[in-house]
Amino acid sequence: MKLAFEKSSLNTNTADVIAVFVHGDKSLFSSEILTLVRELGVRIPAADNGDFNGKEGESLVIYVHRARHPRRYVLVGLGERKKLSFERYRRTGAVAAKCARSLKAESLAMFVPLVASEFQSVVSALAEGAYLALYKFDKYISKKSDSPTNVQTITVCAESSARVKQGKQTLHRTKTICEATYLARDLANAPGNEIYPESLAEAARLSAERCGYTAKILDEREIKEAGMGGVLAVSQGSVRLPRFVILEYGYEKKRPVVIVGKGVTFDTGGISIKPSAGMAEMKMDMSGAAAVIGAFEAVARLKLPVHIVGLIPIVENMPSGSSIRPGDIIRHYNGKTSEVDNTDAEGRLILADALAFAEKFKPAAVIDLATLTGACVVALGHHASGMLGNDSSLMTKLKSAGESTYERVWQLPLYDEYEKLIKSDVADVKNVGGRWAGTITAAWFLKKFIGSYKWVHLDIAGTAMLEEDGEYTQKGASGVGVRLLTEFLRRWK
Ligand code: BES
Ligand code: MN
Ligand code: ZN
């Protein structure tokens, strides 16, 4: 999809659908409608009789006859001005885009609202919402004729030329980040027979090649030689062999931020098998890995002045004659042992190796993303990722990047009292902590394997996998983490 900034005027723009944003406050609404009436030379009866009031989410299509052909304008409500936020602009952009799509438009122009302050952020939010709203995972649907064709071009327009340069720069960044989010969504939505450890590692390698960062892929033999017992153990029940991917981008002299992503390409639960209802969702159990690859893609293409290392342990968790059993004891990368009480708590087993491995990069910070616990979905639903860690200033930074991207995170405690829940009688630690505080005991397990670095764990079980469409997300994979990490790294000193 094309995304461009353009100086243009309402009257001369030739896009298939032209979106104009209207505030919901009564007096502002009337004056904005009056301006439109004057500029377009039409009447807008729906605005007079109250069918369209500029409320958030409202839209109204009007047809205007021009010399050559009739044009379609869509008025989109911004709601009350004092309640406007960048998230509101994202959603409003999404309304415009979905409206254009349902009109089978190939091109959409969006005019930046006149009174918009913080011009660049508004441009970016409108475009981001529109772009992300148009995502579809339909590569496996053969007959696409009854679904509307998708919009090919989005332009964000302003009437004055003063801000064209700013607008162009901003949209270049927005487009890069949206494309990276698309990549993460595509990887996570892809079924388990397409994305398995080898092919996910290959996708990372291709992204590295495309965008100018490096990818080193360890195969099973190298994983064994390195001593990553957790990765080996979880993968041993599958015919698909594990991979361990090491990504690197940026300025070598700076201590890196290490980003770790859970890459379980399919999670059946293993011998502690999951119920079949809803198991298909577990094709998205590599959403952490997808977020890491997406973030690398965005950061490298934007050439951000940061040094980052990505660590992605990749396995398929299957039940078979060669699977790990409850009771098995594993030795991880740093020599610590864990008792497998439940083979469905597999994510932490592979992350343990990656987090221990991270120490060798002398990281300035380590952030891991994982669809780790159903308990996190119970606690926070789909609107916030769970956040736990050992450094409050790092968590504050993630929280604020989360608020501005609306990929929000919410901290849960890692109090010492929870540690004993994962005490094992036969190994250094047990991989489950019983019925309560599942997200916290999972994080405590990870904490046993971290080095001396600052660390934050993000449990994205609820935010990465969606049960229904949102304003600019779709049922299925959200690509969460890409925008959050990119924004966090943009602000990293
Ligand atoms: N991948 C799942 C967590 C998950 C569940 C993500 C639902 C998204 C939606 C993870 O590997 C898992 O199975 N966790 C178990 C842990 C339990 C056995 C301690 C869980 O949450 O039930
Ligand atoms: Mn599991
Ligand atoms: Zn899992």
State yes or no: is 408 an active-site residue: no
Question: Measuring from atom 13 of ligand 1, which residue has the nearest CA?
Answer: 344
Phi-psi sector, 381: left (phi>0), alpha (psi -120 to 50), beta: left
Q: Cβ neighbours of residue 33 under 8 Å, at least 6 residues apart?
A: 22, 44, 47
**Residue 419 in domain:** yes
Q: CATH number of the domain at 133, please.
A: 3.40.220.10
Q: Are strands 17-23 and 70-79 parallel, antiparallel or unpaired?
A: parallel
Q: Tokens 């490096």 appear where?
A: 214
Return the half-sphere exposure (C-beta side, CA atoms, 13 A cut-off) of residue 82.
Answer: 2
Q: DSSP characters for 290-335?
A: HHHHHHHHHHHHTT-S-EEEEEEEEEEE--STTS--TT-EEE-TTS
d(CA 456, CA 390): 7
SS3 28: helix
Q: DSSP characters for 338-407?
A: EE-S-TT--HHHHHHHHHHHHGGG--SEEEEEE---HHHHHHHTTS-EEEEES-HHHHHHHHHHHHHHT-
**Residue 149 in domain:** yes
> pLDDT per position in the chain (493 positions), as tens?
999 999 999 999 999 999 999 999 999 999 999 999 999 999 999 999 999 999 999 999 999 987 667 899 999 999 999 999 999 999 999 999 999 999 999 999 999 987 778 999 999 999 999 999 999 999 999 976 655 678 999 999 998 888 899 999 999 999 999 999 999 999 999 999 999 999 999 999 999 999 999 999 999 999 999 999 999 999 999 999 999 999 999 987 899 999 999 999 999 999 999 999 999 999 999 999 999 999 999 999 999 999 999 999 999 999 999 999 999 999 999 999 999 999 999 999 999 999 999 999 999 999 999 999 999 999 999 999 999 999 999 999 999 999 999 999 999 999 999 999 999 999 999 999 999 999 999 999 999 999 999 999 999 999 999 999 999 999 999 999 999 999 999 999 8
d(CA 389, CA 410): 11
Name residues contacting ligand 1 (CB within 6 A).
Answer: 267, 285, 342, 344-347, 371-375, 377, 432, 438, 461, 465
Q: Are residues 223 and 173 in the same domain?
A: no
Residue 304 near residue 278 (C-beta atoms within 8 A): no
d(CA 186, CA 384): 21
Q: Ligand 1 centroid vs 149 CA: distance in angstroms?
A: 37
Residues in the chain, how many? 493
**Residue 435 in domain:** yes
- Ligand 1 atom with least separation from CA of 431: 19
Q: Are residues 281 and 339 in the same domain?
A: yes
Q: What is the pLDDT of residue 253?
A: 87
Identify the active-site residue in 163, 205, 254, 274: 274
Residue 266 near residue 282 (C-beta atoms within 8 A): yes
Q: Are residues 83 and 210 in the same domain?
A: no
Q: Are residues 194 and 168 in the same domain?
A: no
Helix, strand, coil percentages, rounded to 5, for the chain: 40, 20, 40
| Domain that includes residue 302, residue range | 190-490
Q: CATH number of the domain at 316, please.
A: 3.40.630.10
Q: Ligand 2 centroid vs 282 CA: distance in angstroms?
A: 8
Q: Tokens 């409003």 appear where?
A: 92
**Residue 399 in domain:** yes
Which neighbouring-strand residues pair with 108?
A: 17, 154
Q: Are residues 170 and 261 in the same domain?
A: no
Return the half-sphere exposure (C-beta side, CA atoms, 13 A cut-off) of residue 141.
Answer: 8
Q: Ligand 2 centroid vs 332 CA: distance in angstroms?
A: 18
d(CA 420, CA 430): 10
pTM of the prediction?
A: 0.98
Q: Are residues 121 and 202 in the same domain?
A: no
Q: What is the pLDDT of residue 228?
A: 98
**Residue 447 in domain:** yes
Question: How many domains in the chain?
Answer: 2
- Ligand 1 atom with least separation from CA of 376: 21
Picking from 178, 205, 239, the residue at the C-terminal end of a domain is 178
For a pocket test of ligand 1, which of 344, 350, 435, 441 has the largest count of ligand atoms closer than 8 A to its C-beta? 344
DSSP state of 454: -
Which amino acid, residue 70? P
Q: Are residues 276 and 297 in the same domain?
A: yes
Q: Are residues 234 and 168 in the same domain?
A: no
Q: Are residues 168 and 211 in the same domain?
A: no
- Would you call 315 exposed, middle or buried from its count of C-beta atoms within 10 A (0-12, 13-18, 19+)? buried
**Residue 366 in domain:** yes
What phi and psi values does residue 381 have, to the nearest 5 degrees? 65, -145
19 is written with which tokens?
């979106």
pLDDT (tens digit, 9 = 90+) per residue, 98-131?
999 999 999 999 999 877 789 999 999 999 999 9
Q: Which of 88, 93, 352 is nearest to 231 (CA)?
A: 352
State yes or no: is 348 an active-site residue: yes
Q: Tokens 């700013």 appear where?
A: 166
**Residue 355 in domain:** yes
DSSP state of 135: -
Picking from 178, 208, 236, the residue at the C-terminal end of a domain is 178
Q: Are residues 362 and 473 in the same domain?
A: yes
Q: Are residues 200 and 330 in the same domain?
A: yes
**Residue 301 in domain:** yes
Q: Are residues 159 and 297 in the same domain?
A: no
Question: Measuring from atom 14 of ligand 1, which residue has the nearest CA?
Answer: 373
Q: What is the pLDDT of residue 67?
A: 67
Q: Ligand 3 centroid vs 367 CA: distance in angstroms?
A: 18
